[in-house]
């Protein structure tokens, strides 16, 4: 049992970050919103309605997920970026999305460009390249709900910065749930919820949680990630 008596309210149009140690249940919340599985008891509601009452495909039409190990499908890079987006997408929109995800340059550098085959027996892409394709896919889909579960974890810090900017622009005015190991990437979120052993132990903004001082759960997580020679938390 991961959650017992668990409750969280995620505000529409705002970004909510889930932080906490590995195994605290962050990905489980993402999985419940996606309906990869249903709770044994209780309900997940969107717009006040149990998500089990929505048609699964229409529910997922409004959700985009970028995870730590994104799946690429057997098909071209172009098809992988367009996957799940509406039918009438033109080439320039695909390229715009790829540029925003910092993926265009490496794709354009491939011999077959956007026609490069990936997935099973396709091109071997690095984890970071797959994540950028998945981010381009999410940007193109333009969903009402954006789920990011360690979405930039495979990127080096230089590409992470660029992609982070694109993701933050995408989060504006959109219901977003963000899980990130590197806490520096979630500090601008509207709300940060700290999970510990399947419970929410703190909730607030970056500055309000830091203001709790050394006894605070968020403060402790941030301190753990601070480099030893970095005397200031900001």
Ligand X SMILES: Nc1ncnc2c1ncn2[C@@H]1O[C@H](COP(=O)(O)OP(=O)(O)O)[C@@H](O)[C@H]1O
Binding residues vs ligand X (CB under 6 A): 2, 20, 22-28
Which residue number places its CB atom closest to Mg ion?
27
Q: Pick one of Mg ion, ligand X, none as the site partner of residue 143 (Cβ within 5 to 8 A by kind).
A: none
Footprint of Mg ion on 26-85 (CB under 5 A):
26-27
- Contact call for residue 24 and Mg ion (CB under 5 A): no
Q: Pick one of Mg ion, ligand X, none as the site partner of residue 28 (Cβ within 5 to 8 A by kind).
A: ligand X
Q: Which is nearer to ligand X, 2 or 110 (CB)?
A: 2
Pairing mode, if any, of strands 145-149 and 199-204?
unpaired
Q: What are the E-state strand segments in 152-232?
A: 175-179, 191-196, 199-204
Cβ neighbours, 10 Å, residue 183: 18
Q: Which is nearer to ligand X, 5 or 48 (CB)?
A: 5
Cβ 84 to ligand X shortest distance, Å: 23
Cβ 182 to ligand X shortest distance, Å: 14
d(CA 92, CA 110): 18
d(CA 114, CA 168): 25
Q: Which is nearer to ligand X, 27 or 159 (CB)?
A: 27
Phi, psi of 193 (to 5 degrees): -110, 130
d(CA 70, CA 62): 18
**Interface positions with Mg ion (CB under 5 A):** 26-27
């Amino acid at each position: 049992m991961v959650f017992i008596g668990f409750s969280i309210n995620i505000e529409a149009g705002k970004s909510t970050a889930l932080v906490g140690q590995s195994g605290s249940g962050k990905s489980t919340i993402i999985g419940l919103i996606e309906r990869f599985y249903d709770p044994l008891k209780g309900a997940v509601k969107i717009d006040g309605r149990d998500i089990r009452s929505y048609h699964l495909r229409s529910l997922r039409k409004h959700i985009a997920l970028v995870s730590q190990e994104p799946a690429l499908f057997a098909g071209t890079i172009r098809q992988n970026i367009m996957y799940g987006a509406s039918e009438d997408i033109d080439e320039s929109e695909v390229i715009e999305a790829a540029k925003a995800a910092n993926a265009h340059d490496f794709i354009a550098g491939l011999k077959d460009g956007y026609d490069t085959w990936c997935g099973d027996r396709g091109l071997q892409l690095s984890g970071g390249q797959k994540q950028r394709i998945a981010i381009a896919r999410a940007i193109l889909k333009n969903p009402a709900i954006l789920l990011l579960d360690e979405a930039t974890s495979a990127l080096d810090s230089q590409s992470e910065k660029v992609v982070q900017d694109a993701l933050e622009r995408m989060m504006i005015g959109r219901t977003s749930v963000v899980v990130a190991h590197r806490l520096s990437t979630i500090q601008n979120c509207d709300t940060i919820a700290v999970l510990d052993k399947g419970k929410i132990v703190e909730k607030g903004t970056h500055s309000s949680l830091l203001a709790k001082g050394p006894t605070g759960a968020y403060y402790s997580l941030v301190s753990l990630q601070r480099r030893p020679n970095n005397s200031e938390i900001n």
